[in-house]
Amino acid sequence: MHPATEQNESDIDERIAGLLGRMTLAEKIGQMSQINGAAGSIPEQLRDAIAAGRVGSIINEVDPATVNELQRIALRESRLGIPLLIGRDVIHGFNTIFPIPLGQAATWNPGLVKDAAAIAAHEATACGINWALAPMLDIGRDPRWGRIAETFGEDPYLISVLGTAMTAGYQGDDLAQPGAIAACAKHYAGYGATEAGRDYNTTNIPENELRNVHLPPFEAAANAGIATFMAGFSDLNGIPCTGNGFLMNQVLRDEWAFDGFVVSDWESVTQLATHGFTADDRESAERAVNAGLDMEMASTSFIDQLESLIADGKVSERTIDTAVSRILHIKFALGLFDDTGAHARQQATESDALALAHQAARESIVLLKNDNGVLPLSAENIRSVAVIGPLADAPQEQLGTWVFDGDPTLSQTPLQAIQQLADRGVEVHFAQGVATTRSHTEDGFAAAVAAAAKADVAVLFIGEEAILSGEAHCRADITLPGNQAALVNAVAATSTPVVLVVMAGRPLVLENVLNKATAIFYAWHPGTMAGPAIADLLFGNESPSGKLPVTLPKAVGQVPIYYAQKNTGRPGIPDSPINIDSISEFGQFESAGFTSFHLDTGCTPRFGFGYGLSYTRFSYSDIQVSTHTVALGDTFEISADLTNEGDREADEIVQLYIRDLVGSVTRPVRELKGFRRVRLSPGERRRISFQLHTDDLAFYGADMQRRTETGAFRAWIGGNSAAEQGIDFTVTA
Count the neighbouring beta carbons within 10 Å of the beta carbon of residue 443. Answer: 12
**DSSP type of residue 144:** T
189: phi then psi, degrees, rounded to nearest 5? -150, 160
Count the neighbouring beta carbons within 10 Å of the beta carbon of residue 614. Answer: 20
Reply yes or no on whether 265 is catalytic. Answer: yes
Dmax over Cα atoms in the chain, in whole Å?
83
Which residues are CB-neighbours of 430 under 8 A, at least 6 positions away?
A: 386, 387, 388, 392, 393, 415, 451
Among the listed residues 142, 155, 265, 651, the single catalytic one is 265
Which residues are CB-neighbours of 5 under 8 A, at least 6 positions away?
A: none
Residues 63-96 as b/e (b if ≥16 CB within 10 A, e otherwise) read: beebbebbbebbbeebeeebbbbbbbbbbbbbbb
Distance (Å, whole) CA 139 – CA 10: 38
* Region of 179 on the Ramachandran plot (φ > 0 left; ψ -120 to 50 alpha; else beta): left
Q: Which residues pair with 651 in a beta bridge?
A: 679
Distance (Å, whole) CA 59 – CA 577: 51
Count the neighbouring beta carbons within 10 Å of the beta carbon of residue 365. Answer: 29
Count the neighbouring beta carbons within 10 Å of the beta carbon of residue 423. Answer: 8
Residues 703-730 as b/e (b if ≥16 CB within 10 A, e otherwise) read: eeeeebbbeebebbbbbbbbbebebebe
Q: Return the SS3 of 362.
A: helix
Distance (Å, whole) CA 354 – CA 410: 9
Count the neighbouring beta carbons within 10 Å of the beta carbon of residue 361. Answer: 32
Closest CA to 176 of 341, 353, 59, 19: 341
Could you give the residue ranges of the DSSP H alpha helices within 334-423? 350-364, 414-419
Identify residue 31 by its one-letter amino acid code.
Answer: Q
- Among positive and negative, which fits the CA dihedral 506, 512, 515, 516? negative
Could you give the residue ranges of the DSSP H alpha helices within 55-184? 64-72, 101-105, 110-125, 156-171
Q: Which residues pair with 732 in a beta bridge?
A: 631
Could you give the residue ranges of the DSSP H alpha helices within 101-247? 101-105, 110-125, 156-171, 207-209, 216-223, 245
- Provide Rg for the chain, Cα atoms: 27
Cβ atoms of 438 and 396 within 8 Å: the answer is no
Closest CA to 428 of 461, 371, 483, 386: 386
Q: Which residues are catalytic?
A: 265
